[in-house]
Chains A and B, each alone.
Chain A
């Protein structure tokens, strides 16, 4: 496997079931030369060793509790360190019964937004008899599932909603907030982004790219019946030296036409690390991530 983050959920009933569902993905990772880490209970490790045979010797099996959980504050920082420049890393971890479903959901959502470009395959496993809210969080936050027949699409996956509180600990506190009124007012928005970007450590063309990407996101957000009268709110968060996260929220309007590529944000992607649009009944939000 090559490319960015592959974020898989896995729902299991017991060690045998977990090993059977994980084995196809792990075997493929080993065949592809990935570094593979499995932090699972002893029963699962035993079953995986049997399923994978001698290849299992190439897997690291740290204690299950040693792996950072999505609900922990330094989750993203730790996950970022797993990535290697020259090869893909595959990590399997299990949800613990003590995890907060709410915090877990934040962490899992954040993975896709913040670390979507890293060469990682993450297999997040939740036992079916754990807290139903925890199980629901796993089903909602993983685009694909690892199963005994391989990777399948997850029909329960939902992209992070605008109503989800942004986990400030992940992207820092709000460093800049500005309300703008229509296309004629976007200069103030650009200045806000430029100021926060400079404070976060972006320089020169990186600042220009961040400003342009957020501006284009704003144009996208107001592209509706009356673009000169739409009110937009911009919030910019920054992790100095790491990332700049901008979220534009505006009224939901006429659905925008897809570009020639089918991606309405294709024109701004060359200027940011990641961009996502969220359509909801009452509003539209565009999130843009820039890297330092």
Chain B
């Protein structure tokens, strides 16, 4: 029924992807990022790490090269397999615009491939963007994240965006999760999108309800603009547990969607339908006609 193992998307390490790693606290986020970087180093990827560097410190003093960091990181920094860039420098180089950010990332990918690295792994810590009162920044953010998708489609690039909930505003958490709804890992739940179907997995409960709600809105928003749209095809077969809070959020999101947009349910246990009925299932939530 419920698993104590954190949910993980079924990624083949050989494929490109753009994933969001959500953590409640800094130490949990670091553990996840360290594990990912360690795997990429062992696979022989060129790794670009962007993060916060305390004032006056050098890259080799960042936690990623210390005892809490991945094995081999310090050596990789020395050999050039791992490159570190601190956020202030990134802002300086990119101008904090979508075009500028993407130019920096694109340049790094091209340089790594020119140096004959087989794959490129790119990750950045939670950026602490001041999104609360800055609609323009939100739009820029969405644009450069779409650009990251493009990078992973064009080249052998694996991208891990880190989100530390404790470090970000509610608005930033919401926007970040919504943008990444197609590929995210958040403790005991995760979500992927494939062939027009959006599939949340694992345990969906009150603790992650707000983030799940953000992902649902992101999925609905994307479905409206997508080739399979406007309906959102929701694959329930990977859900181990869903509580009333998450069921309510899903039903409310469906209810607030435009009149021509439906949430089409695929697979999953009969019990979930009973739960949806109990919290109030709108007419816009329908069953798939596929077997």
A residues near B, CB below 8 A? 182-184, 186-188, 190-191, 194, 204-205, 207-209, 211-212, 215-216, 219, 228, 267-268, 270-271
Q: Given known contacts A184-B207, A205-B274, is B2 in contact with A190 (CB within 8 Å)?
A: yes
Contact B207 A208 (CB under 8 A): no
The 0/1 profile, CB within 8 Å of A marked 1, for residues 269-283 of chain B is 111001100110000
Q: Given known contacts A183-B205, A219-B245, is B269 in contact with A205 (CB within 8 Å)?
A: yes
Minimum CB–CB distance from A179 to chain B (whole Å) comes to 15
B225, CB-defined interface residue at 8 Å: no
Q: Which residues of B contact A187 (CB under 8 A)?
A: 2-4, 188, 203, 205
Q: Which residues of A contact B205 (CB under 8 A)?
A: 183, 186-187, 215, 219
Separation of A21 and B274 alpha carbons in the complex (Å): 46
B24, CB-defined interface residue at 8 Å: yes
Minimum CB–CB distance from B5 to chain A (whole Å) comes to 10
Separation of A243 and B271 alpha carbons in the complex (Å): 20
Can you give 11 contacting A-B residue pairs, CB < 8 Å?
A184-B24, A186-B206, A187-B203, A190-B2, A204-B271, A212-B243, A215-B243, A219-B206, A219-B245, A270-B274, A270-B278
What's the tally of chain B residues with a CB closer than 8 Å to chain A? 22
B1, CB-defined interface residue at 8 Å: yes
Q: Which residues of A contact B244 (CB under 8 A)?
A: 212, 216, 219, 267-268
Q: Given known contacts A188-B4, A190-B241, A194-B1, is B206 in contact with A183 (CB within 8 Å)?
A: yes
Contact A208 B243 (CB under 8 A): no
Q: Which residues of B contact A207 (CB under 8 A)?
A: 1
Contact B1 A191 (CB under 8 A): yes
Known A204-B271, A219-B244; further 11 A-B contacts with Cβ < 8 A? A191-B4, A205-B269, A205-B274, A211-B1, A211-B241, A212-B275, A219-B205, A219-B206, A219-B245, A268-B244, A270-B274
Contact B271 A190 (CB under 8 A): no
For A267, the closest partner residue in chain B by CB is B244
For B242, the closest partner residue in chain A by CB is A212
Contact B270 A216 (CB under 8 A): no
The 0/1 profile, CB within 8 Å of A marked 1, for residues 194-234 of chain B is 00000000010111000000000000000000000000000
Separation of A211 and B271 alpha carbons in the complex (Å): 12
Contact B243 A219 (CB under 8 A): yes
Q: Given known contacts A184-B207, A215-B205, is B278 in contact with A190 (CB within 8 Å)?
A: no
Q: Which residues of B contact A211 (CB under 8 A)?
A: 1-2, 241
Separation of A205 and B274 alpha carbons in the complex (Å): 10
For B24, the closest partner residue in chain A by CB is A184
Contact B243 A216 (CB under 8 A): yes
For A208, the closest partner residue in chain B by CB is B271
Q: Given known contacts A187-B203, A219-B206, A219-B245, is B2 in contact with A208 (CB within 8 Å)?
A: no
